[in-house]
Chain A
Amino acid sequence: MSEALPAQAQMTAGGAIGASSLAPDADRAKYVLRLADTSLIVAQQLGAWIGQAPALEEDLGLANIALDLLGQGRLLLAYAGELEGRGRDEDALAFLREPSEFVNVSLAEQPNGDFADTVMRQLLLDAWQIELFEALERSRDERLGQIAAKAVKETRYHLRYSGGWVVRLGDGTAESHERTQQALQRLWPYTAELFDADPLEEALAAAGIGPHPAALAAGWRARLQEVLAEATLILPPPASFRWYGKRGEHNEHLGHLLAEMQILQRTYPGAKW
């Protein structure tokens, strides 16, 4: 994987620098929290399929992907908590924040819907996370780079699964084709957020901590198009709709999801297995 991304060039251009010249801890904490929340929320979403997937193999597949994402989310949440320096550990961050404090991308919280909706959401996210983690492997933040290097290997396998299903459904029956194309149309507007930079991402890209979001678009699109072409699906035109979960703007879906995820710790604070 050696696509030369502008952000990567930017990230290595400054040469060796000490930890003291990294971006402020508070900025890095916010940025890492975004990455963590996206992995955590998708893990929780996929977990809801367990026992309900179309076949036992899909139960296993979705549960395994959820487990990888949960593991990535935990590593990132723990690091975000350390950078934040307010004594919040991974559990406090996962279970004791309000919906408006979550900063996952909106795509992650879109409902599971039918199986086509779920595997399409997963494909869109997997292809993006591969580009993102590959870029983060070169982060000047060593710990973030290590987490990304671990995660990217897992994510490539996730894409193999989600891509495989999108091809089977898209190039399947007339009905599965139609419903998979509809899933893509529905989810498409939420992909714009992945590549729209805000001031935090601009600052961290300049500091060599993370890639510039826009620099990930070409690689993401290429991965996506490869799958969609085989699936006989059509890429929708660019959407003007914008929604920014990463800034804490969420619709009603996240509240329901968190209510279920957090109820035990909210009801019995500090409960342990």
Chain B
Amino acid sequence: MLSLHDLGVIRSLEVEGNRVRVGVTPTYSGCPATEVIKGSIAQALRSSGFEPVEVFDVLSPAWSSADLTAEGRAKLEAYGIAPPEEPVHSVRALTGGRPRHCPQCRSADVECISEFGSTPCKALYRCRSCREPFDYFKCL
């Protein structure tokens, strides 16, 4: 299971006695999961006895796929989602990024089916070797 820490969206954490403030950054401006993520954080903290709990948005610096932790990248691949190619903060990665290999059979012979997938952060690929489709976590 990929944690929010693995995803790199937790930007700050302040604890003062029972009071806690958490800064969260969205992966994409319109990502519908952002509200769910914030709600889950607040719920988890409250059920652990923290009160008051404040979860707020942090826009800057903007999230990048380079914010994924090494463990997060490994977990994505184990789940069958190809991680972003290289953890770099560059414009070039966004237009040139592609999966290194198929997360199922590791073949490098892969093709893009769609620049966009089931969520804003993913693209759809297909492996030409094992013929399986897979998600690719886009560089951003």
Interface residues of A (CB under 8 A from B): 1, 57, 60-61, 63-65, 67-72, 74-75, 143, 145-147, 149-151, 153-154, 156-157, 160-161, 164
Please provide the chain B residues from 85 to 111 with a CB less than 8 Å away from any CB of chain A in the complex. 91, 94-95
Please provide the chain B residues from 44 to 74 with a CB less than 8 Å away from any CB of chain A in the complex. 59-64
User: Total A-B residue pairs with C-beta atoms closer than 8 Å?
Assistant: 78
> Would you list 26 pairs from A and B whose C-beta atoms are within 8 A, ordered by A residue?
A57-B113, A57-B116, A60-B117, A61-B114, A64-B116, A64-B120, A67-B120, A68-B28, A68-B30, A69-B30, A70-B30, A71-B26, A71-B29, A146-B60, A147-B59, A149-B59, A149-B61, A149-B62, A150-B26, A153-B64, A154-B28, A154-B140, A156-B95, A157-B140, A160-B94, A161-B116
**Interface size grouping (class) on chain B:** 20 to 34
A69 to chain B, nearest CB (A): 7
Looking across the interface, which residue of chain A has its beta carbon closest to that of B95? A160
- Within the assembled complex, what's the spacing in Å between the Cα atoms of A147 and B114? 27
Give the dominant DSSP class at A's interface: helix
Contact of A153 among B30, B94, B117, B118 (CB under 8 A): B94
Contact yes or no, B59 A60, CB < 8 A: no
- Within the assembled complex, what's the spacing in Å between the Cα atoms of A67 and B140? 16
A73 to chain B, nearest CB (A): 8
Point out the residues of chain B lying under 8 angstroms from A156, CB to CB.
91, 94-95
> Does B80 make an interface contact (CB < 8 A)?
no
- Within the assembled complex, what's the spacing in Å between the Cα atoms of A65 and B29? 11
Point out the residues of chain A lying under 8 angstroms from B118, CB to CB.
60
- Within the assembled complex, what's the spacing in Å between the Cα atoms of A72 and B31? 10
- Within the assembled complex, what's the spacing in Å between the Cα atoms of A150 and B27? 9
Contact yes or no, B29 A57, CB < 8 A: no
Looking across the interface, which residue of chain A has its beta carbon closest to that of B25? A150
Contact yes or no, B120 A68, CB < 8 A: yes
Q: What 6 new A-B contacts, CB under 8 Å, besides A72-B30, A156-B95, A160-B115?
A: A60-B117, A67-B31, A71-B26, A75-B59, A154-B29, A157-B138
Asked whether A71 and B115 contact (CB < 8 A) given A60-B124, A149-B60, A150-B62, the answer is: no
Contact yes or no, B116 A61, CB < 8 A: yes
- Within the assembled complex, what's the spacing in Å between the Cα atoms of A57 and B118? 10
> Does B39 make an interface contact (CB < 8 A)?
no
Contact of A71 among B28, B60, B62, B124 (CB under 8 A): B28
Contact yes or no, B115 A61, CB < 8 A: yes
A163 to chain B, nearest CB (A): 10
Point out the residues of chain B lying under 8 angstroms from A145, CB to CB.
60
Point out the residues of chain B lying under 8 angstroms from A74, CB to CB.
29-30
B77 to chain A, nearest CB (A): 22
In the complex, which of the residues B30, B64, B95 has the most CB atoms of chain A within 10 Å of its own CB atom? Answer: B30
Point out the residues of chain B lying under 8 angstroms from A149, CB to CB.
59-62
Asked whether A75 and B117 contact (CB < 8 A) given A153-B94, A156-B95, A160-B95, the answer is: no
- Within the assembled complex, what's the spacing in Å between the Cα atoms of A164 and B64? 23
Point out the residues of chain B lying under 8 angstroms from A68, CB to CB.
28-30, 120
- Within the assembled complex, what's the spacing in Å between the Cα atoms of A123 and B99? 26
- Within the assembled complex, what's the spacing in Å between the Cα atoms of A143 and B31? 19
Contact yes or no, A157 B115, CB < 8 A: yes
- Within the assembled complex, what's the spacing in Å between the Cα atoms of A154 and B95? 11
Point out the residues of chain B lying under 8 angstroms from A1, CB to CB.
91
Closest 4 CB pairs of A and B: A71-B30, A71-B29, A57-B114, A64-B116
Contact of B29 among A60, A150, A160 (CB under 8 A): A150
Contact of A164 among B29, B32, B115 (CB under 8 A): B115
Point out the residues of chain A lying under 8 angstroms from B140, CB to CB.
153-154, 157
Looking across the interface, which residue of chain A has its beta carbon closest to that of B65? A153
